[in-house]
Amino acid sequence: MCIEINPLLIERVRGLSIEQLETLGEALLDFSEVAELEAWLNQQEV
* Residue 17 in domain: yes
Q: How many domains does the chain have?
A: 1
Rounded CA separation 22/3 (Å): 22
Q: Quote the pLDDT of residue 18.
A: 96
Condensed to tens digits (0 to 9), the pLDDT of residues 1-41 reads: 677 889 999 999 999 999 999 999 999 999 999 999 999 99
Domain of residue 21: give its range: 7-44
Q: Quote the pLDDT of residue 4.
A: 83
Instruction: Give the number of other Cβ atoms within 10 Å of residue 37's Cβ.
Output: 19
Q: Quote the pLDDT of residue 1.
A: 65
* Residue 1 in domain: no
With CA atoms as reference, report the closest residue to 19 among 27, 31, 11.
27
Distances (CA, A) of 32 to 15, 17, 19, 40, 43: 22, 23, 22, 12, 17
* Residue 37 in domain: yes
